[in-house]
Chains A and B, each alone.
Chain A
Amino acid sequence: MRQRAGRGRSAAARRSAMFSPAILLAAVLNGLMTGAVYALVALGLTLIYGVLHIINFAHGALLTAAMFAAFFVHRLLGLDPYVAAVFLAPLFFLVGYGLQRFIIGPAAHGEDRNILLVTLGLAVTIENALLYAFGADTRTINLPYAFDVVEVGPALLAVPRIVAFIVVFAVALGLWLVMRWTDIGKAIRAVAKEKLGAELAGIDVAHVYAVTFGLGTACVAIAACLLIPSYYVNPHSGNAFVLIAFTIVVLGGMGSVPGALIGGLFVGVVESLSGYYLGESLGQVSIFVMFILVLLFRPRGLFGERA
């Protein structure tokens, strides 16, 4: 209700309006929706880390490339980004497989620290290729349903966010099923646990590495298709997500799939609430403060197995 003190509203009334439960709930729900997409990007990153034990610096550049792909598939073929995801996910799986099998793997010469530099080099190459091809322009697409809303209690949630939320959980479930029940899933888990033993048991480790990298890249392609209806794309747009994804991976525990999911949702809510209370620019700061705190006090993360 409106209260007026003299000419206008008192400071206390203004503060209490900021903490009204309906608004708070809306901010939390918004955060969960954004967090789901963060979680998907982090899922790809943590999967690659968990199996290959490398930090993939090219993750952000691959996300940007996938966003460009989703953008141009819509612009040139008129294909809805959600439909495009069905084609882009396998395509980017192949891209990821090829990158690991023919570039990153051979270039590493068996040294993990080489891989770090190779992925960093890939990131720079991809980003600059995109910059050269498409310029620094920020592009967006307009979809008829982009501003449709669904009422959830007092909150009005945008349709693309709800779709993203559901798809992320479907992808996570699918990934879990693959890892649990399929031969390749078992092979991936075996390589992650004990590389030498797996190799002795006859598992083709190079193939498993490449499949894992492909799966991580496919996650990024799906995330791009979920983002493009409500976000913009330019040659650097992926970076914002990957910095956050690194935080999530550290928070959830390196290599942990449930950690990535829960960490993603948590970071989304923290960002939304601090953005709401502290302002848009400080919203991101709180994420990185959290990153440092986790590294200081719980370096193996919430769900991490190893120190």
Chain B
Amino acid sequence: MPRQFLPVSRRQLLQSTVLGAAATVAGALSAPAVLRAQAAPVKIGVLHPVSGALSYSGQQGRIGATMAIDEINLAGGLKALGGAKIEPMLGDAQSTPEGGNAEVEKMNAAGVAAVVGGYASSICLSASQTAARYDLPYIVDVGVVDSIVTRGLKNTFRFGPGFGVIAKTALDNLVILNDQAGKPAKTVVIVHEDSAFGSGLAKLLNTQLPERGFQILETIPHPTPTRDFNNVALKIKAQNPDLVIPANYYNEYVLLARTMQQQRVRPKGIYSVLGGAASSYKFVKEFHGAAQYIMDCNHWFDPKNPKALALKKKIEDKNEFYTYEVYMNYSCMLLLADAIERAAGTDRSKIITALRDSTFAGHVMPYGPTRFVDGQNQGAAPVNTQVLDNDIQVIFPASFASAKPVFPMPRA
């Protein structure tokens, strides 16, 4: 009986006090790694759709997040927590919102300090909602639907830009591009996937493009996955628009571009807003002919940041492609690690506060230091790219453009 009143034995108490003292001293003196390894690891949920229709993007996201974790751990772990290592808990959302929910439940039960990822808007929406029930901090890596940060969830933070900002940038730049070329484009066909991301974007474009002098000839929805774009290509051919605006995920984007090439559908420009493949080195390398001259408004690393270029080299040395999922997740993980350092522990509400007050500048995106208002990073913005000669060049904003846009596309 008496033992039950003394859950910690004298020996254990002694040990922990000595260890605690050692850790404090170690922290102060920046002691060797042997001592640091004794701090309990911090579990972080790394959630991506690594199987199913979005598996490629999910796997890329996982590469970015785990690479940041490896770098942090190699550099001595979380300093404010006595050099605690980050232990990733990898989750597979299976490309569905339900899959994402189930993983967040598991992660919460396993006691993670926070969750990073989601990728697709629909997964981010439901996974962050589930995380909110447990006051579990959730950093959205990509999901762009605006409602992700307008639901008043205290736990949810989006590092990248949302639809509103992206669409505005994309449309402003489209008008500039068209004006510079002598207004060759007047008519548009939109091809979009029919979940939260594609439908939301199509709706936005349908209200905003006419205001800027473009006529929308047709809006064509399709499910994900779709393995045959022949009918869609025929429809585009029938309408013969000046511009085609695709809004879909990687596989469908590639297939659409290849089917358009196959069916010899040549509009004056293919201009995507968050095109699933339009600014992907994988697409450019594997299907160069279909990718040439495609323009995109999308997430892009800061080409003037040496850290971003070092990461690019590191990824390419591993024979992987440096896609936006990689550097977005890499940055989100660094952002979270910084917040945990400032929270000086794994208390969820303290991490949420630390994220809210974050002014983190150590990421690789062209956003400047982070500043969250209602969960949205205010500096986040997309850039415009174009596929030119086997490479992806930045064409807007002028401050770090690496090439002049080629528009209209030259006739082959």
Q: Which residues of A contact B (CB under 8 A)?
A: 2, 7-9, 14, 17-18, 20, 23, 26-27, 30, 34, 135-138, 140, 142, 147, 149, 156, 158, 230-232, 272, 275-276, 279-281, 283
Contacts and interface: CB of A to CB of B under 8 A. Distances in A.
B239 A135 contact: no
A232 B225 contact: yes
Nearest to A137: B51
Task: Pick the most buried of A142, A149, A279: most chain B CB atoms within 10 A of its CB.
Answer: A279
Contacts of B240: 2, 17
Contacts of A272: 231
Contacts of B221: 279-281
B203 interface: no
Please name the 9 residue pairs, one residue from A and one from B, whose CB atoms are nearest each other, closest first. A8-B215, A17-B238, A280-B222, A23-B238, A276-B231, A275-B231, A137-B51, A147-B262, A30-B230
A231 B230 CA distance: 13
Interface of B: 51-53, 55, 94, 186-187, 194, 213, 215, 217-218, 220-223, 225-228, 230-232, 234-235, 237-240, 251, 258-259, 261-264, 286
18 contacts: A18-B235, A30-B234, A135-B51, A136-B94, A137-B51, A138-B53, A138-B55, A138-B251, A142-B286, A147-B262, A149-B263, A156-B262, A275-B231, A279-B220, A280-B226, A280-B231, A281-B194, A281-B222
Main secondary structure of the interface of A (DSSP, over half): mixed
Given A8-B217, A142-B286, A231-B227, 10 more contacts: A18-B235, A18-B239, A23-B238, A26-B234, A136-B94, A137-B55, A138-B55, A138-B251, A280-B226, A281-B194
A297 to B, nearest CB: 28
Given A280-B226, A281-B194, A17 B262 contact: no
A168 to B, nearest CB: 17
B220 A14 contact: no
Contacts of B261: 147
Report which residue of B186, B194, B234 has the largest number of chain A beta carbons within 10 angstroms of its beta carbon.
Answer: B234
B52 A276 contact: no
A67 B213 CA distance: 48
A26 B218 CA distance: 19
Contacts of B217: 8-9, 14
Contacts of A23: 234, 237-238
Contacts of B55: 137-138
Contacts of A275: 231
B32 to A, nearest CB: 43
A14 B231 contact: no
Contact of B227 (A26, A142, A232): A232
